[in-house]
C-alpha cells in the first residue's frame, strides 16, 4: 500500500535512542520493578509525560553519546535495579530531523562490538493527537543480555517539532508489561509547547556575570541555533564566538578554536561605544548639543583646507557619517586614507585639515576619520581620555572591567576602532541599549539618546540606514558593526541581543546574515 506524504515526512530518526541506550545500558543491569508503580510528571521544554517515580533524568544523554549536533534536545530517564529501564523523549525542530529509515538502518548496523540485533519488527502506522505516527519494537543482545524496546515518532505541526518517545528495558520483564509501560508514556505525553515554551525567569542584572537558560525557557527554538553552529563549522567562515541573549539570559555561548573567550578586538563596534559616550557627555553638559559646529569643539585648533562647507559642519554630521570629508579611509578605497592618518604625527590635525568635497548632512560616506574626531571631542570637552571617561560613566557601571583601547601617536584613544573586550561585555553594551540606557535602576545613557542613536537618519550601505554610529536595519533591529565580522545586534521587539566575533574579512556578509537566517527565526512567534 502506498505511503501517505505525512507518514513519509514523519519518518524521523527513532533508533538514535537505541544508540544512546547501548552506550550506557551495560552499566545498569539490576532493577526490581516491584508490585506497585507510582508515577510523577515530567514537565519542561514544552511537553509533559508520566514516568515511574525514582527515575533519574538527564537532559544531555547518558554515557558518551550526545545529540547536540543533530537534534533540538533529548530528555532521558533511568531507573536502577536488576533490569535496566530507560524512557525518554528526543525532539527535532521543524524538518531538521533525518529521514527515519536511513538512520534506523545506520544505527542498527553501527551499534558497535558486543551488540547484536536479534529482531526488528515491522513499522506500524497509527496516530498520536491526530498526527500520523510510526512505531516499532525491536530486540537487541548486548553481550548475553537481551534487551527489548519500543519507539514511536510523529511530527507535531503545531509545535513545529518531530517528537520521538522511547521505552527500553531488559527482557526479564514480560513483553506485555513493557507494552503497557510504553503506552503509559505515549498516552500521557502532551505537547504544550506554546504554553510552556516561555517560562517566567527571575529578573536580574548581569553586572557580575550572565546567567544561562535553555533556549526553550525563553521562547527560542533550539533547532535553528544548532543549525547555525553546524553551518559555521561546516563552512569554516572564521567565526570566533556566538553569544545569544534573550530576556537577560544567555541561551547560546559558543567559542570556536583557537579562540577561548579572551578580550577580542571589536574593530568598528568601537564607533558605537564612542557615540554612546558622546550622548552621555551631552547629557552631563560637557557638549552643548548636536548642532554645535565641529570647529567650535576644537577652539585651540586651526583647520586647513577651509571652506564654507567645513565652517557649517556640525557634530550631528560627524555622528551620521555625512561630514563630506574627502578621507578615502574605508574599505571602498582599500584603507588608503586610514593608513595615511595612522602615519601622521597628529591624527586629529590630519582629519581637521582634510578637504570637504560634499555639503555636510547630504550624503552618507563611511569615514573612519570622523569617528576619531568624536573620540578627540570627548577628550577636548571632558579633560579625560575616552577610555577614562568610558570607564567612569559606562564600563564600570556595567561590570566591564577588562577593557583595552589603543591610542594614536599623541595619546588619544582611536575613535574608529581598537577596543578589546570580551563577547560577554559586548553583550552588556547591547543589553544596555535594549533597556533604553537603563541599568539596574540607574540611567547610564539617556533614553532619548538611545532612541535617536538607533534611528535611521540617512540611507546607508551595509544596512538600510545609519543612526549615530549605529547601523539600522529595515528588519527591526540595529547593530554595532566591525571589520572582519564583529557584531552587536539588538532586536528590541524580541528582547534579543546577539553578539558575533570573527576574524574573516572575506565572509563578512555570511556572518552578517546569520542573525536573520538563524537567530531571529529561532524566536517563537
- Element containing residue 136 per DSSP (H, E): strand 131-142
- Which residues does residue 51 pair with via DSSP β-bridges, in sequence order? 40
What pLDDT is recorded for position 4? Answer: 44
In this structure, are residues 264 and 240 in contact, taking their beta carbons and an 8 Å threshold?
A: yes
What pLDDT is recorded for position 519? Answer: 97
Q: Beta-carbon neighbour count of residue 103 at 10 Å?
A: 19
pLDDT in tens, the chain (525 residues): 344 444 444 444 444 444 444 444 433 333 334 445 788 998 877 788 998 888 888 765 433 333 333 345 778 888 766 566 788 887 776 555 545 555 456 556 655 566 677 788 888 889 998 888 888 888 877 677 778 888 888 888 777 777 888 888 777 666 677 778 888 889 999 887 655 455 668 899 999 999 999 888 888 888 899 999 999 999 889 999 999 999 999 999 999 999 999 999 999 999 999 999 999 999 999 999 999 999 999 999 999 999 999 999 999 999 999 999 999 999 999 999 999 999 999 999 999 999 999 999 999 999 999 999 999 999 999 999 999 999 999 999 999 999 999 999 999 999 999 999 999 999 999 999 999 999 999 999 999 999 999 999 999 999 999 999 999 999 999 999 999 999 999 999 999 999 999 999 888 999 999 999 999 999 987
* Count of residues making up the chain: 525
What pLDDT is recorded for position 474? Answer: 94
At 373, give phi and psi (nearest 5°): -60, -40
Give the CA-trace dihedral at 265, 267, 272, 273, to 10 degrees. Answer: 40
What pLDDT is recorded for position 284? Answer: 98
**Element counts in the chain: helices (H) and strands (E):** 17, 25
Q: Beta-carbon neighbour count of residue 30 at 10 Å?
A: 11
Q: Which residues contact 200 (CB under 8 A, 6 or more apart)?
A: none
What pLDDT is recorded for position 198? Answer: 56
In this structure, are residues 397 and 439 in contact, taking their beta carbons and an 8 Å threshold?
A: yes
Three-state SS for 57-106 is: EECCCCCCCCCCCCCCEEEEEEECCCCCEEEEEEEEECCCCCCHHHHHHH
In the block, cell 545498569 appears at: 28
Domains and CATH numbers, the chain: 5-195 (3.40.1000.10), 234-522 (3.40.710.10)
- Which residues does residue 182 pair with via DSSP β-bridges, in sequence order? none
What pLDDT is recorded for position 24? Answer: 42
What is the pairing mode between strands 115-120 and 131-142? antiparallel
What pLDDT is recorded for position 470? Answer: 98
**DSSP-assigned letters across all residues of 300-335:** T---SS--HHHHH-BHHHHHTT---B----SGGGTT
At 436, give phi and psi (nearest 5°): 55, 35
- Element containing residue 156 per DSSP (H, E): strand 145-156
User: Which grid cell sits at 397?
Assistant: 557601571
- Peptide bond between residue 258 and the one before it cis (omega within 30 degrees of 0): yes
In this structure, are residues 79 and 21 in contact, taking their beta carbons and an 8 Å threshold?
A: no
What is the three-class DSSP state of 216? Answer: helix
Runs of H (alpha helix) within 157-257: 175-188, 193-196, 222-235
Tell me which long-range contacts 69-73 makes (C-beta under 8 A, separation of at least 24): 69/226, 69/229, 69/230, 70/13, 70/16, 70/98, 70/226, 71/13, 71/16, 71/96, 71/97, 71/223, 71/226, 72/96, 72/161, 72/221, 72/222, 72/223, 72/226, 73/45, 73/216, 73/222
Identify which of 519, 443, 439 has the alpha carbon closest to the alpha carbon of residue 477.
519
Identify which of 272, 203, 250, 264 has the alpha carbon closest to the alpha carbon of residue 467.
272
Amino acid at each position: 500500500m502506498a505511503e501517505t506524504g505525512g507518514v513519509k515526512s514523519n519518518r524521523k530518526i527513532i533508533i538514535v535512542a537505541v544508540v544512546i541506550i547501548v552506550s550506557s545500558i551495560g552499566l545498569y543491569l539490576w532493577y526490581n520493578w516491584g508490585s506497585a508503580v507510582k508515577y510523577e510528571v515530567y514537565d519542561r521544554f514544552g511537553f509533559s509525560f508520566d514516568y515511574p517515580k525514582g527515575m533519574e533524568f538527564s537532559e544531555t544523554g547518558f554515557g558518551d553519546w550526545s545529540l547536540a549536533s543533530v537534534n533540538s534536545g533529548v530528555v532521558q530517564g533511568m531507573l536502577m535495579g536488576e533490569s535496566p529501564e530507560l524512557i525518554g523523549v528526543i525532539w527535532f525542530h521543524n524538518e531538521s530531523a533525518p529521514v527515519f529509515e536511513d538512520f534506523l538502518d545506520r544505527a542498527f548496523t553501527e551499534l558497535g562490538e558486543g551488540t547484536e540485533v536479534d529482531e526488528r519488527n515491522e513499522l506500524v502506522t497509527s496516530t498520536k493527537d491526530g498526527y500520523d505516527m510510526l512505531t516499532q519494537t525491536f530486540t537487541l543482545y548486548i553481550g548475553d543480555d537481551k534487551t527489548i524496546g519500543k519507539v514511536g515518532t510523529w511530527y507535531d505541526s503545531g509545535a513545529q517539532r518531530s517528537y520521538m518517545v522511547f521505552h527500553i528495558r531488559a527482557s526479564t520483564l514480560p513483553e506485555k508489561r513493557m507494552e503497557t509501560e510504553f503506552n503509559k508514556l505515549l498516552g500521557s505525553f502532551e505537547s504544550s509547547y506554546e504554553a510552556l515554551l516561555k517560562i517566567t525567569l527571575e529578573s536580574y542584572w548581569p553586572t557580575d556575570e550572565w546567567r544561562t537558560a535553555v533556549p526553550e525557557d525563553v521562547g527560542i527554538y533550539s533547532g535553528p541555533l544548532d543549525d547555525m553552529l553546524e553551518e559555521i563549522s561546516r563552512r569554516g567562515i572564521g567565526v570566533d564566538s556566538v553569544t545569544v541573549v534573550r530576556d537577560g539570559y544567555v541561551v547560546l555561548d559558543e567559542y570556536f578554536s583557537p579562540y577561548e573567550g579572551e578580550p577580542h578586538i571589536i574593530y568598528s563596534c568601537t564607533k558605537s561605544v564612542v557615540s554612546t559616550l558622546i550622548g552621555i557627555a551631552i547629557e552631563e553638559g560637557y557638549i552643548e548639543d548636536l548642532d554645535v559646529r565641529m570647529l567650535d569643539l576644537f577652539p585651540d585648533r586651526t583647520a586647513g583646507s577651509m571652506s564654507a562647507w567645513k565652517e557649517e559642519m556640525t557634530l550631528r554630521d560627524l555622528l551620521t557619517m555625512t561630514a563630506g570629508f574627502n578621507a578615502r579611509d574605508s574599505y571602498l578605497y582599500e584603507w588608503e586614507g586610514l593608513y595615511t592618518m595612522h602615519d601622521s604625527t597628529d591624527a586629529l590635525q590630519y582629519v581637521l585639515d582634510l578637504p570637504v568635497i560634499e555639503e555636510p548632512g547630504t550624503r552618507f560616506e563611511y569615514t573612519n576619520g570622523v569617528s576619531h574626531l568624536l573620540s578627540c571631542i570627548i577628550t577636548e570637552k571632558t579633560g579625560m581620555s575616552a577610555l577614562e571617561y568610558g570607564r567612569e560613566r559606562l564600563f564600570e557601571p556595567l561590570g566591564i572591567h577588562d577593557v583595552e583601547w589603543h591610542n594614536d601617536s599623541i595619546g588619544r584613544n582611536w575613535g574608529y576602532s581598537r577596543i578589546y573586550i570580551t563577547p560577554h561585555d559586548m553583550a552588556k553594551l547591547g543589553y544596555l541599549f535594549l533597556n533604553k540606557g537603563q541599568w539596574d535602576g540607574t540611567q547610564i545613557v539617556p533614553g532619548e539618546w538611545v532612541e535617536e542613536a538607533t534611528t535611521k537618519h540617512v540611507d546607508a550601505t551595509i544596512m538600510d540606514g545609519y543612526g549615530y554610529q549605529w547601523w539600522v536595519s529595515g528588519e527591526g533591529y540595529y547593530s554595532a558593526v566591525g571589520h572582519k565580522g564583529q557584531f552587536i545586534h539588538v532586536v528590541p521587539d524580541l528582547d534579543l541581543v546577539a553578539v558575533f566575533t570573527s576574524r574573516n574579512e572575506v565572509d563578512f556578509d555570511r556572518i552578517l546574515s546569520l542573525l536573520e537566517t538563524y537567530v531571529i527565526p529561532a524566536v517563537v512567534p
